[in-house]
Every structure is written in C-alpha cells, then in structure tokens.
Chain A
C-alpha cells in the first residue's frame, strides 16, 4: 500500500523534501511509520521525530487524512493515507 507523508517546518528541512510516498507491503501503524521514516532518513530528522526515550516525539503535531492523531497511536494506516507532520514551531 502507498502512504503519503507531508513534512512541514523543521521536519521539511530535516527530511530535505516536502512530500514522500512510501510503499509498504505489511500493515503499519502511525507510530511504526514515524519510527520507520526516522530510521530511513537518519539525522537530523531522526532527532526531530523520535524522543530521547523511545518512540515518536510526543510534541509532533500529526494528522492522518486531516484528523489529528497522537504520535503514539497504534491505529493501522490504510492504503492511500495522507500523513501530515507538523514539527512544533514557536517563532513570533
């Protein structure tokens, strides 16, 4: 199945792209997807997406098909899902 990831703000710079389509054979949850792209891209994206402890950074703002989803969600993603990653911004 295909999952599209839209990167925003610092995560866009760290990923070096605004959009990425991932082809996945098996079922995958949002949490697993975040870990997978962090491993795929390595630093600096990894530091942005993952917390020091383990798993996704709880302060990522994530949307799946426009619905807000917590970063530790174990909800399986469906074929064609659009995942939006907003890394936190605070500029003022």
Chain B
C-alpha cells in the first residue's frame, strides 16, 4: 500500500503493549504495525490453510478481516480447520471461525460472510479488502478471485496444498504472473476433496499469513514472481521463478 505513514492512525498504548514482541522486528516497528492496523484482508475460505492465515493475521493486528466461507461444520473438517471446535458441528463454519478470531484479538474488525466466493459476490468482497488470501479448495473460486484481483489491482497471496505438498506465491497485478498465467484453464482433474494433514495446512497457512503481513506492511521480500514449493514427505523446500504469460486472458498485454 503506497500511502504515507502519516496517514495511518497511531497505536494506542494498549495496542503497543499487545504487539510489543513484533514491534521489535527490524524494518517493521510502529510504522509497520500502523499499516497493519489500517489494512483489510479478504480470506477465502476459513478452512485448513485459510483458518490459519486468518488466525495469524488476527493476532498480528490486521485491522479488518473479511472471512468468506459458506456451509456448516462437519466432523471431517476438524483434522485441519483449526478455528473450529467440536461444539460447532452442524453450525455455520464462519460463525465458529469468527468466534475464535474475536477471542484471539478483540481489537480488530471481523466481517463474517456465510458464502463462498462466487460470480455474484466477488466484486463486492474484493472491494472490501486491500489484499486477498486465496485459500479456496476449488479452481473455479481461485480463478474468480484472480480475475477480480487483477481488475481491482489488489495483491493476492496464493496458497495451496495436496497430501504432504504445498505451494505459495504472491501475485501483484501487472507486476508478477497471475494465477491464470500459471493455470490458463480450470484443471479438470482437481477435486474438492483431497488428501491432506492439518499440519500441512497449518504450515502453508502460517507462511501465507507472513506473506500478507510483509506486503501490507511493506517490508521483507515477498514471493513476487517466485513459487515456494514444500514437500513435507521429504522435507524438501524450493523456490522457482515463474513468468508472466503474455497471452494470459486475465493479465496479458491485451487486457492491461
């Protein structure tokens, strides 16, 4: 966010005390914290990865989190959806998630949307946020968020997982590739239900939260034009350069 730091509200003494440990991070400090306080993030959805993203954004003091996740909690969600609890089974997932986030940090604003992103709500949802955290389990939702991220020129942190593997990158419209540059068509073999451990979701969600914090606060080196790949089966981590597709239907030259 290219806004002068004088535009951001100061921290209250109580906030400064609450965030003291991270205020001492070099290059972050009070200015970074004020930037987070002024920032808003759309998290879709609040599952294994998304719930972890939301959790760490909340405790870091991001001013507003818009949480979009439809449907009711099921027993088989609980191996990974860390914001949920057994007493929430049968109730809206987003209500469970918001309750936990408010317990973690009552200073921030949380908007609960009991819907998944769709063609009818995507423009409004992205319009409420400075950054998108894409943690959706379907490519149809991911590609929709990507299109709107490019249209509204909002950065999108992209995290994904399967089995013991995960991917993470950060898209900045017209600076980096976008999701459609990587996946020009909806991959037909992908299914909503996939094998995964909660620990894999939590790991990539925590890394995604850190990416969002860096982009919002303007420090560090986000994964721009780089894809982080993690294989927890062999504990192999790598980063690969990824390139803009000049013929991309979403961000390609003809669409700028």
Contacts and interface: CB of A to CB of B under 8 A. Distances in A.
Interface stretch (B31-39, B85-93, B131-139): B131-139
Interface string B119-159: 00000000000000011111100100000000000000001
A10 interface: yes
A91 B242 contact: no
A92 B241 contact: no
Interface residues of B, number: 41
A66 B227 CA distance: 11
Contacts of B137: 90-92
A91 B139 contact: no
Nearest to B137: A92
Interface string A39-68: 000001001100110000111010100111
A1 interface: no
Contact of B48 (A9, A84, A89, A92): A92
B230 to A, nearest CB: 11
Nearest to B238: A66
A70 B229 CA distance: 18
B241 A67 contact: yes
Given A8-B229, A66-B240, A68-B243, A89 B160 contact: yes
B47 A92 contact: yes
Contacts of A4: none
Contacts of A89: 160-162, 165-167, 190, 194
B162, B242, B243, B245: residue with the most chain A Cβ atoms closer than 10 Å:
B162
Contact of A92 (B135, B184, B187, B189): B135
B202 to A, nearest CB: 12
Interface in A12-36: 13
B160 A68 contact: no
Contacts of B241: 66-68
Contacts of B162: 9-10, 89, 91
Contacts of B245: 70
B49 A68 contact: no
Contacts of B232: none
A59 B183 contact: yes
Contacts of A88: 139, 182-183, 187, 189-190
A50 to B, nearest CB: 11
Q: Which one of A9, A10, A47, A89 has the highest number of Cβ atoms from chain B below 10 Å of its Cβ?
A: A89
Would you list the 9 A-B pairs with minimal beta carbon distance, nearest first?
A92-B135, A88-B187, A89-B162, A59-B183, A91-B161, A89-B160, A92-B49, A9-B162, A59-B187
Interface of B: 44-45, 47-50, 134-139, 142, 159-163, 165-167, 182-190, 194, 196, 201, 227, 229, 231, 240-243, 245
Interface of A: 8-10, 13, 44, 47-48, 51-52, 57-59, 61, 63, 66-68, 70, 84, 86-92
